[in-house]
Chain A
Amino acid sequence: MNIIVCVKQIQDPEIPAIKFRLDAEGKKVVPPEGIPPVINPYDEQAVELAIRIKEQHGGQITILAIGDDSTSSVVKHALAMGADKGILLKDPAFEGSDSFGTAYILSRAIQKIEEFDLVLCGRQAADWDEGLVGSILAENLGLPLITLVESVDLIEGRWHVKRVILDGYQVFAVPPPAVLTVSHELGPPRLPSGWGIITASKKEIPVWNAKFVEADTTQTGADASWKKLDSLSIPQRKRKCEKIEGEKPETAASLLAEKLRRAGVL
């Protein structure tokens, strides 16, 4: 089984809200000091799924990431987890691409990789939270797509894929090759082993540019985006909290019940 996993480097989504800073004028998020960027957690789970499939069926896992040299750290992370090969898609013309541009670049790179059975992406990136790239990528590649994937089985040559819905799940069967977007219900990804980190550090990460993947650069970069970012702001949605105190928890609880009754919400 040859599996391609698309990963993105993002600002650590676990930073506390009080450390979150914006450059409103520049319409940018200010990276928090001393907290390095991470692999998008949903993409990390896509890597985990790839490794689980490889453990069962063998094959090779190739990681694709768009970015600059610093992005190779998330590629290395995926390699340390157990992926075989990493490729960095880097070109000035790729910078600032939106979901369509990103999906286009990835589809050009994937067309360079001849044989594959699955393309995996995270369900969304935990920075812009759009959840569009995997779907558009599947359309670009003309491949079947299942989103919000929790688990995968290979049965008689077809992928049986469990898709999460709000109040349960669905099971789809698709022939390979297919595109899957992975949801957090898959479970926690493995930590890289010491040996994994050592082997990953020795691996070369080839860089593919626009010319190499034969990408039409009028379709990439910030200028190609139809949506223009107008503003970025921190929503002010604080409420005035009335803290209810009592000598004992019982007193506070009792007061709360009275207040809720008076507020007419019971």
Chain B
Amino acid sequence: MKGILIFGELKDGQVTSVTLELIATGKKLSRTLDQPLELVLIGENLEKAAERIANFGVDRVLKVQGQAHAELHPERLVSILNQVCEKTDPKIILFGQTDMGRDVAPRLAAKLEASVCADCVYLAYNQEKKELIQAKPVYGGNALAQWNTADDRPHVVTMRPRSEKPAEPEPSKKGNIQSIPIEIDEGQIRSQLRETVHERDKGINLDEAKIIVAGGGGVGGSEGFGLIQELADALGAAVGTTRVPSDENWMPKSLEIGQTGHMVSPNLYIAVGISGAPQHLAGCSNSKTIVAINKDPEAPIFDMADFGIVGDYREVLPALIEKLKRLRE
């Protein structure tokens, strides 16, 4: 058992932000342990992404190329990663808590008889005690648990997106790039992926947005989101929601921010009609500046906000939109 292996993810051929965050975490572990940092990329046309990642201070980038491997297919990925781990025998395997990571990590851990900690926000290695320290929010974010795990087995960890700053390039230290051929026994893959549908919403991608205007249950219905959208347009912002608008089908589920949705950290987060349940705050508490607009002065969201207006959003938002338009001119 040696080294740290990161499961790298691409989206439309681009290295995802979560992957860069994992590299940052991996580099810290690699320094403490004085062991190599490796990253595995699975899919097709990986050359460009591998070149890019090799510039971020990773010792080795492993490419597992194949057309079929490009599918977002957890069972297939488990099988590939199991083989990669047999070849490289890593001590710590890092995933993002993503669509694939959260599914693949526990299965791989079970196969490897590795310990597993999901949705961590902090990860470190205690060299003296030879223990891995893992912290994660529990009880919907009401509490934070920290575990220590002894070193007699591999560790699988998934990291919550946005819990670490993305790694910076280190062009002076270029990593190796290597292909590893992996053969999959197709007979062993029992689930067949029939389709993957990305319901891209119009407008700005939540995960990349610098400004987000989010609406919660207090918005009261889908009509209210017209005003939210108008404010977002005035700011060049993305629109997000909490669980209520998503469950009630006021807005597409793909816009949900929080424990069961997107994890975001924009420069400015405007929370409209959001009470501030821990499960939602989990997804936005790393935002640089938070503004809360809510009728209820006792709403917990005000404890998490930098600026707050107690008032009816139907009255506040039109005035805010008007003012912003004037400022822009």
Which residues from chain A sit less than 8 Å from chain B, CB to CB? 11, 13, 16-18, 20, 22, 29, 99-100, 103, 126-132, 135-136, 138-140, 144-148, 160, 164-175, 178, 183-185, 187-188, 226-235, 237-245, 249-250, 252-254, 256-257, 259-261, 263, 265-266
A31 to chain B, nearest CB (A): 12
A249 surroundings in chain B (CB, below 8 A): 309, 311-312, 315-316, 319
B253 nearest in chain A by CB position: A185
Partner of B118, one of A22, A132, A265: A132
The yes or no answer to B116 lying at the interface (CB within 8 A) is yes
A53 to chain B, nearest CB (A): 18
B308 and A244 form a contact (CB under 8 A): yes
Instruction: Produce 1/0 per residue, B175-204, CB < 8 A to A.
Output: 000000000000000111111111110000
B198 and A145 form a contact (CB under 8 A): no
B115 and A266 form a contact (CB under 8 A): no
A235 and B144 form a contact (CB under 8 A): yes
B172 to chain A, nearest CB (A): 32
A166 and B116 form a contact (CB under 8 A): no
Inter-chain CA distance A76–B268, complex, in Å, is: 47
A235 and B137 form a contact (CB under 8 A): yes
25 pairs, CB–CB < 8 Å, chain A vs chain B: A17-B277, A29-B143, A128-B145, A129-B138, A135-B110, A144-B190, A145-B107, A164-B253, A165-B196, A170-B196, A184-B243, A227-B147, A230-B146, A230-B147, A230-B148, A231-B145, A237-B285, A239-B303, A244-B307, A252-B309, A253-B309, A253-B323, A260-B268, A261-B327, A266-B268
A136 to chain B, nearest CB (A): 5
The yes or no answer to B260 lying at the interface (CB within 8 A) is yes
Inter-chain CA distance A136–B113, complex, in Å, is: 10
The yes or no answer to B68 lying at the interface (CB within 8 A) is no
Instruction: Produce 1/0 per residue, B284-313, CB < 8 A to A.
Output: 010011111000000010111111111110
B270 to chain A, nearest CB (A): 9
B134 and A174 form a contact (CB under 8 A): no
Inter-chain CA distance A78–B314, complex, in Å, is: 42
The yes or no answer to B75 lying at the interface (CB within 8 A) is yes
Partner of B254, one of A131, A167, A240: A167
A256 and B307 form a contact (CB under 8 A): yes
A184 surroundings in chain B (CB, below 8 A): 243, 247, 260
Interface centre among A22, A129, A165 (most CB of B within 10 A): A129
B140 and A126 form a contact (CB under 8 A): yes
Partner of B197, one of A169, A233, A238: A169
B310 and A145 form a contact (CB under 8 A): no
Inter-chain CA distance A16–B296, complex, in Å, is: 15
The yes or no answer to B1 lying at the interface (CB within 8 A) is no
